[in-house]
Amino acid sequence: ATDFGIDKALKTLGVKDINDGTSTGSNNFSNGDIIESYSPVDGQLIGKVKATTKEDYQVVMEAATSAFKTWRLMPAPQRGEIVRQFGEKLREKKEALGKLVSYEMGKSYQEGLGEVQEMIDICDFAVGLSRQLHGLTMHSERPGHRMYEQYHPLGVVGIISAFNFPVAVWSWNTALAWICGDVCVWKPSEKTPICGIACQNIAAEVFAENNLPEGISCLINGDYKVGEYMTKDKRIPLISATGSTRMGKIVAQEVGGRLGKSLLELGGNNAIIVTPDADIKMTVIGAVFGAVGTAGQRCTSTRRLIIHDSVYDKVKHAVVDAYKQLRIGNPLDEKNHVGPLIDIDAVAMYNNALNKVVAEGGNIVVEGGVLSGEGYESGCYVKPAIAEAKPEFEIVQHETFAPVLYLLKYSGDVENAIDIQNNVAQGLSSAIMTNNLREAERFLSQAGSDCGIANVNIGTSGAEIGGAFGGEKETGGGRESGSDAWKIYMRRQTNTINYTTELPLAQGIKFDL
């Protein structure tokens, strides 16, 4: 690991030799069981973190609720200034944090850097937004009355995040929540706890330099049981949860049961439609990066290629050829395209999907398999696989969080492809490759893709922070990041002011005393 500068990165981030959950500020409160974090890259132990107990959680919540009282009073543009400083710190530590993300999660170093860049971008976005938390004014029907709406901070925002974007998803939430005047309590994935501590350390530095309470950003560690402290806690008006649909259904019920708000970012089953007019070269790049990037562990990874029968063989051969060039290995080594899966359980799910597609009558065109031997000691490296399948196969209806790509055939009109694309439970990302304007517009119309993200001549994978990010149906309906996604982090209030000496009632109601 030292070959790739991991030791230096861990030192820079203040997470070298973590073995007792020690961190700065709020996280010092953790006293529970030890969580060990092993790298999927080389199987080495990175560090040990203590889980947060129920008692620890109460201390954290006290820190958070008390910090909220200070933070909400700071003018939003001044909160923006703190977020600007946080973005600057991320710029300074970009290489170190990108490396840790790569080492603890297993994505390529380039993608690790990309994830930190997303954090920087959302900070920049949030700084501008801190001067634009606009409400509307409207004309009152009553004389001498003024009416407007305003947005106020919500309170403590609970963030539960997944392993695959161990740092960016937190920042999408916090950067916006902070400028909105909220404080955040974050439970990162138990599979990437060191990334959580590294981020907390960076935030803590900024708060300390500004004499602000660190409770504005709190970290709790552990598995779903620790997540449940937050979902059951009435003091938390908003839970933002990113992860599997299975998790989202439980969280939605728990939070809904107490009429809290939840922002859910759940699984996808993303497809690219390849029409007769598609640019094949672009299709291959989009499809291959979409299917094998992050070893198929992005919520927006391409799972299905829905190809018109007239170009089916051509596209299939081009994609299969491209797979022959893929280099699988240490993701910190920039010459490799595909890194490991997160852990052995993920490898088992990958094997299971390949067995299932064959059992259902699918035809493997690029063989999968688990790699062993030198460089693959962690047991988490698998070969990206491709199977020809039918849309109705059970396995094709599910999200397998691994590099398995299904080729599906359609004939006739683009409507048939759109039907196949929409006919799954998930609704995150979708794409069409076409140079035909009618097909593209049909795909984007109200009778087109039912996903939260619909792209033309781009793959399904990845997104820019400027747009609202999220999906429909079993993807959970939440929107994060750009556009007006900030509104969920605030409470809306309508205000009417009477500046006369009369008290006229609305709707002309008379109430004479």
Let me know the angle formed at the C-alpha of 343 by 371 and 367, rounded to the nearest 5 degrees. Answer: 35
Q: CA–CA separation, 124 vs 341, rounded Å?
A: 32
Q: Is 233 a residue that touches ligand NAD (CB under 6 A)?
A: no
Q: CA–CA separation, 32 vs 29, rounded Å?
A: 9
Residue that the structure tokens 């051509």 belong to: 314
- Applying the rule CB under 6 A, the residues between 284 and 303 that interact with ligand NAD are 299
- Applying the rule CB under 6 A, the residues between 150 and 169 that interact with ligand NAD are 160-165
Q: CA–CA separation, 135 vs 510, rounded Å?
A: 31
Q: Which stretch binds ligand NAD (CB under 6 A): 105-113, 210-218, 243-251, 438-446?
A: 243-251
Alpha helix ranges (H) inside 301-460: 312-324, 344-359, 394-397, 414-422, 437-444
Nearer to ligand NAD, 187 or 304 (CB): 187
Total residues contacting ligand NAD by CB under 6 A comes to: 30
Candidates 173, 461, 475, 481; binder of ligand NAD (CB under 6 A) is 475
Nearer to ligand NAD, 14 or 471 (CB): 471
φ, ψ (nearest 5 deg) of residue 243: 160, -150
Q: Examine the residue annotation and report whether 184 is marked as an active-site residue of this protein.
A: no
Catalytic pick from 118, 214, 254, 265?
265
Q: Is 455 a residue that touches ligand NAD (CB under 6 A)?
A: no
Q: CA–CA separation, 210 vs 60, rounded Å?
A: 20
Q: Give min distance, CB of 258 to ligand NAD, in A.
A: 14
Residue that the structure tokens 């299939």 belong to: 316
Q: Show the site string, 103-142: x = touches ligand NAD by CB under 6 A, - = not.
A: ----------------------------------------
Q: Do 279 and 286 form a contact (C-beta atoms < 8 A)?
A: no
Q: Give min distance, CB of 401 to ligand NAD, in A.
A: 5
Q: Which stretch binds ligand NAD (CB under 6 A): 16-24, 246-254, 282-290, 410-418?
A: 246-254
Q: Show the site string, 257-276: x = touches ligand NAD by CB under 6 A, - = not.
A: --------xxxx--------
Radius of gyration (C-alpha) of the chain in whole angstroms: 24
Q: Examine the residue annotation and report whether 104 is marked as an active-site residue of this protein.
A: no
Residue 208 has, within 13 A of its CA and on its CB side, a CA count of: 10
Strand duo 156-160 + 183-187: pairing: parallel
Report residue 332 as tokens.
């910190």
Catalytic pick from 123, 195, 199, 299?
299
Q: Which residues bind ligand NAD (CB under 6 A)?
A: 160-165, 187, 189-190, 223-224, 227-228, 231, 242-244, 247, 250-251, 265-268, 299, 399, 401, 428, 471, 475
Report the catalytic residues: 265, 299
